[in-house]
Amino acid sequence: MTDHIYWKDGVLYVLDQRELPFKKTYVRCKGLIDTAKAIENMTVRGAPLIGIVAGYGVALGVKEAVETKGQCSMADLDRVCHRLQKTRPTAVNLAWAIERMKATYRSYANNSGIADVMTEEAISIHVEDIENNRMLSLYGAELIDDGDTILTHCNAGALATGGYGTALGVVRAAHESGKEIKVLATETRPYLQGARLTVWELSQEGIPVELIPDNHVGLLSANKGFSKVIVGADRIALNGDTANKIGTYMISLCARQFHIPFYIAAPVSTFDRYIGKGTHIPIEERDGKEVKYLQGKLLTVKNVKARYYSFDVTPARLITSFITEKGIIEPPFKKYIKMLFL
C-alpha cells in the first residue's frame, strides 16, 4: 500500500486519513501552507510520514520562492522550515527531514535548478523510508512465532509511513512468510487510529484482526489474550525512552506485569541522538475539543473542560527490544543506540 502519498506534476497528493475508512479522498498540497496544514490538522499522521511530507513541504516552499522572486535565499528557506517545524513538536522525523533538506540546500544553493534538486531530495527521503520499513520488517518478522497473537496500538502501518509500515510492517512480513498470526488492535481514543486505520489496513490484506477497546488491555494481558506487543514510535531518546501514541505507556506496564515481550518498531530516523532521556521529549497537547467531538458529533456536556495529550513516554526498562532497519537493538540500549550514528 503506497498510494496514500504521491507526487505528480509539482503537486503533493495525500490521502485524507481523517475520512478513513468511510471515504477515500485526496488533499492536494500545492505549496508550503497546504502542506503545513495537512500535518497540523492530521490529514496525515505518523512520525515517518510527517517527516516525508515535511520534506516535500520544504521543496514546495523553495519552489514558491523561486517562482515569485527568481531565487530562494537562506532567509526564505529558514522561513519555510520554521513554518513546518511548528506543526507537530513530538515526532523527531519532522526535524530530521527538515535538517536533511537544509543540508541539501546548502550544498546546491547556487544551482539554478535548486527547486528541482530539493524535489529530488524529498522523493529520495520518501523512497528510502519504504526501503527501511521493508528491511526492519524482515528483521522483526524473525521475532514472530507461528500462532502468535500480536497487540498493537494506534496505527504504525503503511499509512503512517512512506509505505509498508513499521509495527504493521513486521506483521505484514510475518504474514507474507506464511506464519499464522492474529492482531489485536486497540481503538486508540480519541482519534481512533486503531479502529479506523489499523483495522482497515489489515482487513485490506486479509490479515486476521480483532478490534478491542483501549481499556481491555489489562484484562487481556492477565488472561493471556495476546503473546507479543509491537508498536511504533514518534521519538526515541538516547537511553531508549520512547514517545508514542498516548496509552502506550499503560500497555507497556501491563506487558511487563505479565511477562509479555514489548517491541518498538521504528527506523533510525526516529532515534534522537540529541535527547538523553524521555523527560526531555516535548509532548504535544492538542485542543480538548478533539476529545469532546467525534467526526463533528458532540459526545459529552458541551462546556466541560477536556484535555488531550497526543503522546506519552514509555521508559526504556519496559521495552524488550527495538526493531530497526539496521537490526534488533537489545539492552543496554544507550550503548547500541549510539552505534546507530557512527
Q: Give the DSSP H/E element, type plus range, for residue 80.
A: helix 74-85
Please, are residues 77 and 115 in contact by the beta-carbon 8 Å criterion?
A: no
- Tell me how crowded residue 287 is: count the other CB atoms within 10 A of its CB: 10
Q: Quote the CA–CA distance of 278 and 332 in Å, as a whole number.
A: 16
Classify residue 154 as left (phi > 0), alpha (psi -120 to 50) or beta.
left
Q: Catalytic site residue 234?
A: yes
Please, are residues 197 and 20 in contact by the beta-carbon 8 Å criterion?
A: yes
Q: Quote the CA–CA distance of 187 and 214 in Å, as a whole number.
A: 6
Distance between start and end Cα atoms, the chain? 32
- Exposure class string for 147-162: b at 16+ Cβ within 10 A, else e: ebbbbbbbbbbbbbbb
Indicate which residue of 234, 241, 272, 312 is catalytic.
234
What's at 106, amino acid-wise? R
CA angle in degrees (0–180, nearest 5) for 32-38-44: 130
Q: Which residues are catalytic?
A: 234
